[in-house]
């Protein structure tokens, strides 16, 4: 009688060796869930805690944005500030604190700057990170990023469009200002920040914060034809020398003409049998006196 064949052992899952003990997988999603769970518990604790004087004025969950635009004849400068309240600061601090420059590079992708429809590349130039104190012993987060975008080839009056797409699903203050340096801007955007770059929030606007995510400006650039043309000044030395020579010539010619007592002096010199030396001295005296008179009249 045939013996029953033993049942084959169950095959191990793909990727695991037979007989090996299963390893505990820790996917990134678990860490994300734990972080969100901690943030939720932290938010509940902050909500139940009494209000503190240093709590963020717009609430513990807000992410606030400021974009300052300076348009020059050849370049656009961007001043970008992100102000995170306690909860988002708690979530984002590890990644941003590890590399603030990279955080600014990542935020540059969400800032769209176009000139007549052509997108300009915003190159990061500066980064600055700070952690102002917040509520419940927690810190807020303030990240300042500077960018530079070359205008390149352009029309005489191009249109500049700017859009902020960062943290589009988060609530908070959003502000855009624009001004020109060496250019004139035609825009409805203000030229000054009402929050001093997210440092002082007006109490009258806290209940209904600004939500400006885009703006446009027509840029009036200076043209080369409008530049003043330098006219060379006349050479004063040449003019003075010419006037002296002319006065000397007129005086000498006038000395040779009759009248003004010169004839009487000449007759007296002849009658007294004056020498040539006396005659030359008399002629020179008359010439110099008349030259001085002509110069005096000219002055």
| Apex 200 CA angle, 195 and 205, nearest 5 | 65
The count of other CB atoms within 10 Å of the CB of residue 184 is: 13
Please indicate, yes or no, whether the overall pTM of this predicted structure exceeds 0.75. Answer: no
State the average pLDDT for the chain. Answer: 80
Residue 25 has pLDDT above 50, yes or no: no
Asked whether the predicted pLDDT for residue 4 surpasses 90, the reply is no
DSSP 157: S
pLDDT band at 165 (very low <50, low <70, confident <90, very high): very high
What is the Cα gyration radius of the chain? Answer: 44
Lowest mean pLDDT among 53-57, 87-91, 291-295: 291-295
Distance, in Å, from the CA atom of 56 to the CA atom of 54, rounded to the nearest integer, reads 6
116: CB partners within 8 A, 6+ apart: 154, 155, 158, 159
- Residue with more model confidence, 279 or 151: 151
Is residue 187 pLDDT above 90, yes or no? yes
Burial class of residue 17, CB neighbours in 10 A (0-12, 13-18, 19+): exposed
Looking at residue 145, its pLDDT comes to 99
Residue 281: per-residue pLDDT: 74
Lowest mean per-residue pLDDT among 153-157, 195-199, 208-212: 153-157
**Given the DSSP bridges, would you call strands 63-71 and 174-180 parallel, antiparallel or unpaired?**
parallel
pLDDT band, very low/low/confident/very high, at 38 (cuts 50, 70, 90): low
Indicate whether 23 pLDDT > 50.
no
Q: What is the pLDDT of residues 67-110, one digit of tens each?
A: 999 999 999 999 999 999 999 999 999 999 999 999 999 999 99
pLDDT score for 16:
43
* Tokens 């007006």, located at residue: 202
Number of H helices, E strands in the chain: 6, 10
Residue 249: its pLDDT value, please? 73
| Count of positions (residues) in the chain | 299
Task: Give per-residue pLDDT as tens, 258-273.
Answer: 555 665 566 666 667 6
pLDDT of 280 reads: 74
Q: Rounded distance, CA 270 to CA 257, Å? A: 17
- Percent pLDDT > 90 in the chain is 52
Q: What is the pLDDT of residues 105-148, one digit of tens each?
A: 999 999 999 999 999 999 999 999 999 999 888 999 999 999 99
């Amino acid at each position: 009688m045939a013996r029953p064949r033993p049942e084959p052992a169950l095959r191990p899952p793909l990727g695991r060796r037979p007989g090996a003990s299963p390893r505990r997988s820790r996917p990134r999603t678990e860490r994300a869930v734990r972080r969100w769970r901690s943030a939720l518990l932290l938010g509940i604790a902050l909500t139940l805690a009494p209000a503190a004087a240093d709590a963020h004025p717009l609430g513990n969950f807000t992410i606030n944005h400021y974009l300052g635009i300076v348009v020059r004849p050849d370049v656009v400068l961007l001043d970008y500030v992100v102000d995170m309240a306690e909860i988002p600061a708690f979530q984002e601090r590890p990644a941003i604190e590890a590399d603030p420059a990279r955080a600014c590079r990542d935020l540059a992708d969400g800032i769209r700057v176009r000139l007549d429809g052509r997108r300009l590349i915003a190159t990061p130039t500066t980064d600055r990170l700070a952690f102002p104190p917040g509520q419940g012993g927690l810190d807020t987060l303030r990240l300042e990023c500077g960018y530079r975008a070359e205008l390149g080839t352009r029309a005489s009056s191009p249109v500049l469009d700017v859009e902020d797409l960062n943290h589009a699903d988060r609530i908070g203050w959003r502000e855009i200002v624009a001004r020109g340096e060496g250019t004139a801007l035609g825009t409805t955007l203000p030229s000054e920040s009402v929050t001093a770059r997210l440092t002082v929030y007006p109490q009258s606007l806290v209940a209904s914060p600004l939500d400006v995510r885009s703006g446009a400006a027509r840029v009036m650039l200076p043209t080369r034809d409008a530049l003043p043309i330098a006219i060379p000044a006349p050479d004063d030395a040449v003019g003075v020398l010419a006037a002296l020579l002319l006065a000397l010539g007129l005086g000498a010619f006038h000395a040779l003409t009759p009248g003004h007592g010169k004839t009487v002096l000449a007759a007296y010199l002849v009658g007294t049998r004056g020498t040539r030396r006396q005659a030359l001295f008399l002629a020179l005296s008359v010439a110099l006196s008349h030259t001085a008179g002509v110069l005096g009249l000219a002055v």
